[in-house]
Structure 1
Amino acid sequence: MTRVSVITGGAGGMGQATAAIVGRDHSVVLFDVREDRLAAAHAVLDGQGIAVTAVAGDVTDPAAVAALLRTATELGTLTSVIHTAGVSPSMGDADYILTTNALGTLTVGEEFYRVAPEGAALVNVASMAAHMLPESVVPIATFPRALEDAPTFLEQMRTACEIAPDQARPGLAYALSKSFVRWYSTAQAERFTGRGLRILSVSPGSTDTEMGRLEEKAGAGAMVADAAVPRWGTAEEMAELLAFCASGRAGYLTGTDILNDGGVIASMTERARRAAAG
């Protein structure tokens, strides 16, 4: 039977690159809120001989996500959802970022948990930013509330952003929302395993995509110079890792986050240690 992989954010650079790899031996369903970009990605992948279906919708809309996974299961056996959809600090205000990144991940994850067949994998895209905040800033006690009361969870996340001045709140919201993605992908592993499912996340560093370059203009790209590998990562490098994590070759991999940042966090941590040591 046909194996099917869903890729949210499929019109983005990382999503499309992932689809090109996964599509070598799967039918691919692309999901994105940007219909014009989605149509363009569909045309490119179709031209490469990939069996691709495009579905427009918003990851924060439970009905749209449910319809997406119904479409996927009608095409064959759902083997994976690779959730690349998300927004960066330059793309909106704190509320928009929290809703899209945190609530979107929750919506996709919970529908996947409800309908995915045994053996399927959910791979979420977190971020290097999720590894940078002091623990005291991350409202981790709030995170489990997302599964019980999403509106209250979002309100508490908004409150957590108020420690920053207005202009810095989108950046903090991004880091907090991706911290939630990382938490969800680890904390829910045992529950997912109970249904024979895998869940994990990948945390990319600065990546040469349209969204990544938006953050370069905002100053975040300066961190690349501090990496052990002092360059931008490519969409294809991220895609290879995402595709592997979703594949049967990674069948023992669950409940973890893989940092793929060119050594930025390692370099910053070691430099801070040396500075503190005098």
Structure 2
Amino acid sequence: MQKVTVITGGAGGMGLATAKLVGRDHHVVVLADVRQDRLDRAAATLDALGIAHTEVNCDVTDRQAVTELFRIASGLGQLASVIHTAGVSPSMGDAEYVMRTNAIGTVNVNEAFFAVAGEGAAAVNVASMAAHMLPDEMVPTAKFPLALKDPDTFLSEMLAACEIVPPEARSGIAYALSKTFVRWYSSAQAERFTGRGLRVVSVSPGSTDTEMGRLEENAGAGAVVADAAVPRWGTPEEMAELLVFCASPKAGYLTGTDILNDGGVIASMRERARLAAEAAQTGSG
């Protein structure tokens, strides 16, 4: 039976780069995206490469639409993996839109996958280096489980947590919180997934040279490129290589964790903060 990989956000820069690699391994690729125009262009690209594919117009915030996506995928062969790249950046909408898409969308995709996937399949979720930036006291982790049983209350709690900053900054906090949630989900649900013979992991990319990534060129992700140990934008292909590896049988021992692929931004920021604190302490002494 032919193997099938679902890629959400599959018509975006990272998603399409991932589809090209998955197709190279002779998987049938199911591209899901909310924008039909981008799906059409992505399909033409895969046609030119001779990659077997199916496109599904799907909004990941719509649970019924996501369920239908996986029904279609399951009918094409053995569901091997879902690589969930769909998401939005702070520049693309308000805090509620960002949280609903990134956090609740992740629950919808993973829970639909969990319901139909067979033993050995893997879910790979795209988080962000932003998930490694917020202080613990700003993250209402105790409220995260609400996303699985009461999404509306979860959303209200997350938006309340964003009120710590002025309105104009709330989409940025919502982004960091939503990606922290993705990281949490991919760890907290690992044991449950293992009970079904499934794996679940997350990958936290740094500043990536995609259309969405470049929306943050002058703030957010773009502002920290110069601080990276590797001081440049990451490429979609570099991210795709890691995503595909995580989804493959080669990573069969990998589950319940997050892989930070940020060019060393977080490592550099933490070391610089440590050195600054050390210098301040020495100076005050």
In the other structure, the counterpart of 1:243 is 244
Q: 1:219-238 residue pairs with structure 2 within 5 A? A: 220-238=221-239
In the other structure, the counterpart of 1:14 is 14
Q: Which runs of 4+ in 1 moved over 2 A?
A: 217-220
- Equivalent AA in structure 2 for residue 154 of structure 1: L
- Equivalent AA in structure 2 for residue 70 of structure 1: R
Q: What's the CA shift string for 1:202-229, capped at 9, x where partnerless? A: 0000000000000003353120100000
SS in 1 for 2:217: helix
CA distance in 2, matches of 1:220, 1:69: 32
Q: What's the CA shift string for 1:246-277, capped at 9, x where partnerless? A: 00100000000000000000000001101111
In the other structure, the counterpart of 1:145 is 146
In the other structure, the counterpart of 1:81 is 82
Q: Does 1:205 align with 2:206?
A: yes
CA distance change for structure 1 residues 217 and 235 in 2, over 3 Å: closer, same or farther?
Answer: same
Q: Give 5+ residue unaligned stretches, structure 2.
A: 280-285
CA distance in 1, matches of 2:65, 2:30: 14
Q: CA deviation at 1:145?
A: 1.2
Q: CA deviation at 1:241?
A: 0.2
Query: Aligned pairs, how many?
Result: 278
SS in 2 for 1:36: helix
CA distance in 1, matches of 2:218, 2:273: 25
CA distance in 1, matches of 2:221, 2:201: 25
In the other structure, the counterpart of 2:4 is 4
Q: TM-score, normalised by structure 2?
A: 0.96
CA distance in 1, matches of 2:75, 2:141: 37
CA distance in 2, matches of 1:268, 1:217: 18
CA distance in 2, matches of 1:261, 1:220: 10
Q: TM-score, normalised by structure 1?
A: 0.99
SS in 1 for 2:196: coil
Native 8 Å contact 1:90 1:218 kept in 2: no
CA distance in 1, matches of 2:220, 2:201: 29
SS in 2 for 1:23: helix
- Equivalent AA in structure 2 for residue 9 of structure 1: G
Native 8 Å contact 1:32 1:57 kept in 2: yes
CA distance in 2, matches of 1:217, 1:8: 27
In the other structure, the counterpart of 1:218 is 219
Q: Does 1:189 align with 2:190?
A: yes
Q: Give 5+ residue unaligned stretches, structure 1.
A: none
Native 8 Å contact 2:206 2:221 kept in 1: no
Give the share of equivalent positions with the same residue, in percent: 73
SS in 1 for 2:70: helix
In the other structure, the counterpart of 1:53 is 54
Native 8 Å contact 1:205 1:261 kept in 2: yes
Q: What's the CA shift string for 1:34-62, capped at 9, x where partnerless? A: 00001100110111010011100100111
CA distance in 1, matches of 2:271, 2:46: 42
Q: CA deviation at 1:158?
A: 0.6
Q: 1:165-180 residue pairs with structure 2 within 5 A? A: 165-180=166-181
CA distance in 2, matches of 1:87, 1:41: 19
- Equivalent AA in structure 1 for residue 4 of structure 2: V
Q: What's the CA shift string for 1:10-49, capped at 9, x where partnerless? A: 0100000000001112010000000000110011011101
CA distance in 1, matches of 2:60, 2:149: 19
Native 8 Å contact 2:74 2:116 kept in 1: no
CA distance in 1, matches of 2:41, 2:170: 33
* Greater mean deviation of Cα atoms: 138-147 or 79-88: 138-147
